Amino acid sequence: MNLRILYHGLGMAGKTTNLEKLREIYAEYVSDRMHQQTTEGRTVYLDMLSLNLRTKSGNGEVWISLFTTPGQERFRLLRGWLFGHVDGIVFVIDSSRSLEENLRAYEELRKYGLLKVPMVVQANKRDVPNPLPIEVIKEAFRGFTVVEAIAREGQGVAETFREILREVLNAKASVG
Amino acid sequence: MDVVGYSLKEEEIKEIVSKLEAFRSSLFLDLVVLMDDGGRLIAYSPYVDGQRPIAYRVAVVGAATVGAVDQLESIISSKRHMFFAGTDKNMYIHVISPKFLLASVFSHKVPLGSVKLFKEKLSKDLASILDKALSRMEKKVIRFEDIAL
């Protein structure tokens, strides 16, 4: 089984940091890591972490590709391919920025018809001074699982991944 | 939600692998990878475990590149194939149907013309299997609780 999970959100919200931390946390399952970036470390197009998990019985294999979207506006043109082939979405909220700004990135998902794809919301950067209140985020994303995180310290990263994996597999099981 | 719009049976994958193997060995290619337009790896040759991560990367990057180049379509008007000339090896990717892509990796000693010529026959051979697969949907179910994580 192949699954593709997309990390989407504003530029510098912490999407690549999530993948970097997952690479450390699940090091034994990593089969590949690609990150096409500028000299400043900004993602250009392909930022992918590939994990190869096995089932407990040992007779099943799950290949998971985790992608991020390049957050900068100018790369919007290239998002069609990324958005066109996803099984699940982690929407990464930058708690240091306003809800309106974050919702602008969320609006893109609607534009690409992705609102029915299983989604988990990660409220990242909870350690910034005066973060966007968690109640405001939960209210805006009522009905979705919201995970609080400080991705650069690894907090909430694995929890977010496990939540989205659970939701994607549940959705597939209910279809199949 | 992205639903994989095809399903290949075990015996069909074996048949595809044997066709890729025949294509690869007759032309002395290094690697042949069949993937879908979303970058999902379907089959590859040589079919050995050590090649799988490389084939996986070729599938993802190959499909993404084709997807990205689609944005240049109005300028270059060629979405059927792409050729990359490397220092040591070359890569030729061609679209065998709107859903499936084939990538061939080969040394400079192998003429591109022969790859282009023989991939036509391979494409026809694969078409009947892939067409049948397209009429089926994926029904494999793995639950979160089943995963050793």
Q: For A23-72, how does the pLDDT look when each residue is reduced to its tens digit (9 = 90+)?
A: 999 999 999 898 887 777 777 777 899 999 988 877 788 999 999 988 66
**Dist. CA B43–CA B55, nearest whole Å:** 8
Higher pLDDT: B78 or A165? It is A165
**Dist. CA A49–CA A65, nearest whole Å:** 6
**Dist. CA B114–CA A25, nearest whole Å:** 46
Average pLDDT, stretch B64-70?
A: 82
Half-sphere exposure of A42 (CA within 13 A, CB side): 11
> Are A85 and A67 within 8 A, CB to CB?
no
A165 vs B contacts (CB less than 8 Å) = 144, 147, 149
A89 vs B contacts (CB less than 8 Å) = none
Sheet (strand A30-37) strand order: A30-37, A43-54, A61-68, A2-9, A88-94, A119-124, A145-148
Interface of B with A (CB under 8 A): 1-4, 37-41, 52-53, 56-57, 60-61, 63-64, 67-68, 70-71, 138-144, 146-149
Q: What is the mean pLDDT of chain B?
A: 88
- The model's confidence at residue B1, banded by pLDDT at 50, 70 and 90, is very low
Nearest to B53 among A31, A56, A60 (CB): A31
In this predicted structure, the answer to whether residue B58 has a pLDDT above a threshold of 90 is yes
Nearest to B148 among A34, A53, A165 (CB): A53
Q: For A117-134, how does the pLDDT look when each residue is reduced to its tens digit (9 = 90+)?
A: 999 999 999 999 999 999
Counting one residue from chain A and one from chain B, the pairs whose CB atoms sit within 8 A come to: 99
Half-sphere exposure of A130 (CA within 13 A, CB side): 2
Torsion, Cα of A107, A108, A114, A117 (10° steps): -70
Q: Do A45 and B40 count as a contact with CB atoms less than 8 A apart?
A: no
A44 CB-near residues (< 8 Å, 6+ apart): A36, A37, A38, A70, A75
Nearest to B71 among A77, A84, A175 (CB): A77
Average pLDDT, stretch B55-63?
A: 91
